[in-house]
Amino acid sequence: MRVSFIKYIKLKSSMTYDLLLKNVKAFTTSGPFEGDIAIKDGKISKIGGDIQEQADKTIDLSGKYLVPGLIDGHTHMEFPFMGEVTADDFYYGSRAAIAGGVTTIVDFVTPAKGQDLLSAYEKWSNNADPKVVSDYGLHMIIREVNTKILEQIPEVINKGVVSFKLFMAYKNELMLPDGELYKLIKRISDFGGVTGIHAENGEIINELIQEFLSEGKIDPIYHYYSRPDIMEIEATNRIASIASMIGKDVKMYIVHTSTGEAVDIISSYRRQGFKFFNETAPHYLTLNTDFLKRPDGYRYVMSPPLRSDEQRTKLWIRLASGDIFTIGSDHCVYSDAQKKRYKEEVPPFNEIPNGVPGTENILPILFYYGVKKGIISMERFVEVTSYNPARLFGLYPRKGTIMPGSDADFAVIDPNRKVRISADVLHSNINYTIYDGMEVEGWNVMTIRRGEVVYEEGQVIGKKGSGKYIPGKTPILL
């Protein structure tokens, strides 16, 4: 059993603070600082060089890195899709998040066909509230357009759901035609909301799928061949053109961007003054299409698909340059049985539920392959994992920073801890990980959520249902 590095000091005299973090080496977007952090009532109360006031509990963080609690702006808990519901409910999914230093997830409300937005919001909140260990916010998926949907957009925003997701793919399920995309982006923008876009050309993808199936080409690798790079690039260019017609007040981000060219399109608009942004995911930075050719390639089916090593390199370059705005996991977990449709044989690629685990792996993947390898700085790490998501989803300055008055949300990293990633060291409700066997250096060893230690050295100690809904406010974007 590993001995905890934490030194707890109980004081008997009158207390000033609830928690005092000593010998902190913290990182923010403006650089590192060393000193102490005092916490009261779940908030950062004081930051100083050597705080002497008493506290109920003191934790010595010598030798560790402290960063703002990560914000995973892209999770799908209890997500109904392709005839299945994801294996991670809000309890298991938020446990995995907490273990990975993610103190806030932003999940996607997914209305059923014909369901209005407000009733879907209530259902998602009721599902999440009794289960979450992390704090959480919500996005709203819109899959159809009618008068009631349009009327409810400002009502949903008033409930703190300030970001929406629209799909250009998954024909006959979630995909919207261009005219409806235009109408929704305009309506969301009128009330100050943010529009997220799944950018792939669903019409052509559907044709390619049918072509491959008719030729008997059904292996998982054909998931990639049916969704080539150009499908994302074309859709990104098209939606950027549509949104730019509405005006520069539109706030839009392209989720799970997998190609450098799509990033470049959005960056070019941003340089012209548009508030357009990109998100990418850890798997696009570390895995490639070869994983789809393995016997367990079905585990690696997600959309957009894994790309070439050339595209991986392009994404790292753009992450380092600042062109990629956020990192989100797209945590959408299906068990082996679900992925294989409860059969011995792997089903045709178009029948495999799309999605992979990831929220617990953002920190070690980005820290090791990004920071340790010298590609990005710690400041950039903080920017894309907490500061920018907080600004984009209206959570800043309550979340995403280290300053007095903000929530005391932290991930504590042992920068030298070496770990071989496997399902055994993770906390999701499945028996595999897409990062199996990867050896990383740098690991989250403690998570503090609103001043409470909720994870320490492999153990999630935060209680089920102790997380809170954090309503989004006006996004803060330059």
- 297 and 418 part of one domain: no
Q: Residue 161's pLDDT band (boundaries 50, 70, 90)?
A: very high
Tell me if 21 is assigned to some domain: yes
Cα–Cα distance, 235 to 233 (Å, whole number): 6
Range in 14-23, 73-82, 101-110, 317-326 the model is least confident about: 14-23
DSSP string computed for 397-412:
TTSSS-STTSB--EEE
- 95 and 203 part of one domain: yes
Tens digits of per-residue pLDDT, 26-47? Answer: 999 999 999 999 999 999 999 9
Tens digits of per-residue pLDDT, 457-471? Answer: 999 999 999 999 999
Torsion on CA atoms 173, 175, 177, 183, rounded to nearest 10? 110
Whether pLDDT at 7 is above 80: no
Whether pLDDT at 181 is above 60: yes
- State the pLDDT at residue 477: 78
Interval 196-210 mean pLDDT: 99
CATH number, domain of 161, equals 3.20.20.140
Whether pLDDT at 11 is above 50: no
- 191 and 45 part of one domain: no
- 164 and 192 part of one domain: yes
Interval 267-280 mean pLDDT: 98
CATH number, domain of 45, equals 2.30.40.10
Interval 150-166 mean pLDDT: 98
- State the pLDDT at residue 6: 44
* Amino acid, res. 318: R
Mean pLDDT score of the chain = 96
- State the pLDDT at residue 4: 43
Q: Any idea what DSSP says for residue 367?
A: I
Range of the domain at 217: 72-392
- State the pLDDT at residue 2: 38
- 30 and 133 part of one domain: no
Interval 119-124 mean pLDDT: 98
Whether pLDDT at 13 is above 70: no
Tell me if 402 is assigned to some domain: no
- 282 and 235 part of one domain: yes
- 47 and 179 part of one domain: no
Tell me if 401 is assigned to some domain: no
- State the pLDDT at residue 3: 34
Whether pLDDT at 5 is above 60: no
Tell me if 384 is assigned to some domain: yes
Determine contact, residues 142/180, Cβ cutoff 8 Å. no
- State the pLDDT at residue 402: 98
Instruction: Name the residue among 360, 342, 345, 354 with its Cα closest to residue 428.
Output: 360
* Amino acid, res. 335: S
- 288 and 150 part of one domain: yes
Whether pLDDT at 135 is above 70: yes
- 359 and 452 part of one domain: no
Tens digits of per-residue pLDDT, 218-242? Answer: 999 999 999 999 999 999 999 999 9
- 43 and 141 part of one domain: no
Question: How many domains is the chain built from?
Answer: 2
Burial class (CB within 10 angstroms; exposed 0-12, middle 13-18, buried 19+) of 219 = middle
Whether pLDDT at 446 is above 90: yes
Q: Residue 457 phi/psi, 5° resolution?
A: 45, 55
- 319 and 346 part of one domain: yes
Tens digits of per-residue pLDDT, 414-424? Answer: 999 999 999 99
DSSP-assigned beta bridge partners for residue 66: 26, 412
Q: Any idea what DSSP says for residue 129?
A: T
Whether pLDDT at 109 is above 90: yes
Whether pLDDT at 163 is above 70: yes
- 365 and 429 part of one domain: no
Tell me if 380 is assigned to some domain: yes
Q: Residue 363 phi/psi, 5° resolution?
A: -65, -55
Determine contact, residues 68/401, Cβ cutoff 8 Å. yes
β strands within 61-101, DSSP E? 65-68, 70-75, 80-81, 84-85
Percent of the chain with pLDDT over 90: 96
Instruction: Name the residue among 164, 183, 166 with its Cα closest to residue 175.
Output: 166
Which residues, 6+ apart, have CB-to-CB distance to 279 below 8 Å?
73, 74, 196, 253, 254, 255, 256, 257, 324, 325, 326, 327, 328
- Point out the domain boundary residue: 392, 417, 445: 392
Percent of the chain with pLDDT over 70: 97
Determine contact, residues 262/184, Cβ cutoff 8 Å. no
Interval 7-28 mean pLDDT: 75
Tell me if 10 is assigned to some domain: no
Tell me if 115 is assigned to some domain: yes
DSSP-assigned beta bridge partners for residue 107: 75, 138
Lookup result for tokens 């770990």: 419
Tell me if 253 is assigned to some domain: yes
- State the pLDDT at residue 478: 62
Interval 159-184 mean pLDDT: 98
